[in-house]
Structure 1
């Protein structure tokens, strides 16, 4: 470098150092000799300060410093925008992994014929799975006497085994609300929702919510022997099972058999073995120890 150019470089460096010092003085409020109007330190000031420091380092200390490192230091600074930090804590999506200490959401469908063992299986899973809750399709039946129910004249009875007897839209909304609510846990984990019911997989808006679906099958004799031991409100009338319940189940089963992502299970198998099979499967999906 020519001798006549060195004073210009030294003068430029001196000006940069003064600018850097002025930013530090304004930030720390240590200059008591001059009375200047108070000005809020902005993100631009912080950025300028870091860029000036990097520039001086490049000239006087580390000539190999790359430009990319200057901006990496800026991005990693503790002076980053708080709103950007908050955004990092938001969930990636409704059903995926949550960042921070939020829960990953899984929605599991447990369907099958009436009296196929759905409720028993759900109760066992609730007692075994951490951070697990349940929604029951039976809680969304219309009230008896509702005009939306189909009346069966020959049985003098309402039809409770078709989809129009259930408030499906409300069921879907409640599941979506559960999924969208943020769940804060003491450590990163998985939150599981079990949804049980006899008509879950014939309703497209509901099908789109499940991460995993199970269906318990039973034969007619087992289904009838179990059903006649239970009490319903309103009670079954003679002929209701043969005319409504079983034909509706067969139609439902025929329709969903075309859906290849449903795991069909034998509802007549040992309850404990059935429970252990589904439990291990869910634990594997949720990446939980088992």
Structure 2
């Protein structure tokens, strides 16, 4: 560790891939953990670009990248949620949790055991080996963390998770939502928004992570390794949240151990 007060874990993927649900579960399972949402860095609606006659919320130009990097730098240095960020995303519902209570409790028990004295988690979270205050973990939940246009954000991430989802499932999940709280009030997707804006933008920004550019095909493991992006490459495109949570808990424990020199 380099004296920073917090580590930042990126959780990215297409809209409706399960990012916010997974982030909230991990926050409740790991100690000293809080969430920062990329959606809290949208520009005012009057400054959003348009595409095909519609406001485009799903591109890098809709986000204030400088404000996001400023917030991440603050978190890494101070270990606290930035007071200059007014979170709207936490006002949005993600619906009923799809993970059984028994699985959540099992993951909590696994982490509690890992945090016992003599175990790696205790050394990581108790006081950073006696050399400072307890480490904090920030989960950055965002639909556009690993695109070329957001390289400055990705550079400030210590762990990079990527969640996959099929076009069919993403469309169904997004269509089931009422809408989103915004700076100006509330946004509901107009008809055809996913097909005309959300999915094409996702493909354009993430095709480079996949073999042959097919975002519903195989991830390019060489690219993932080079970029330090972690994903369930041995699973299909639509992984159930229970399996995803178990993988994320195990993987995050290993990553924290490596970063903090416990391996």
Superposition TM-score, scaled by structure 2 size:
0.64
Aligned to 2:67: 170
Aligned-partner Cα distance in 1 for 2:244–2:79: 32
Q: Work out whether 1:283 is the aligned partner of 2:253.
A: yes
Aligned-partner Cα distance in 2 for 1:143–1:231: 21
Aligned to 1:111: 12
1:72-93 CA distance string (max 9 Å, x none): xxxxxxxxxxxxxxxxxxxxxx
Secondary structure of the 1:177 match is helix
Aligned-partner Cα distance in 2 for 1:160–1:144: 9
Aligned-partner Cα distance in 2 for 1:214–1:182: 21
Rate the CA distance shift 1:182–1:124 in 2: closer, same or farther, 3 A. Answer: closer
Aligned to 1:127: 28
Write out the 4+ residue segments of structure 1 that deviate beyond 6 Å after TM superposition. Answer: none
Gaps of 5+ in 1: 1-95
CA-based RMSD: 2.3
Give the counterpart of 2:198 among 245, 253, 259.
Answer: 245
Aligned to 2:106: none
Larger radius of gyration: 1
Q: Work out whether 1:263 is the aligned partner of 2:230.
A: yes
Q: Work out whether 1:151 is the aligned partner of 2:91.
A: no
Aligned to 2:151: 204
1:41-66 CA distance string (max 9 Å, x none): xxxxxxxxxxxxxxxxxxxxxxxxxx
Question: Post-superposition shift, 1:201?
Answer: 1.1
Rate the CA distance shift 1:271–1:186 in 2: closer, same or farther, 3 A. Answer: closer
Higher relative contact order (CA 8 A, sep 6+): 2
Alignment of 1:73-84 (within 5 A): none
Aligned-partner Cα distance in 2 for 1:118–1:283: 18
Superposition TM-score, scaled by structure 1 size:
0.58
Rate the CA distance shift 1:221–1:172 in 2: closer, same or farther, 3 A. Answer: same
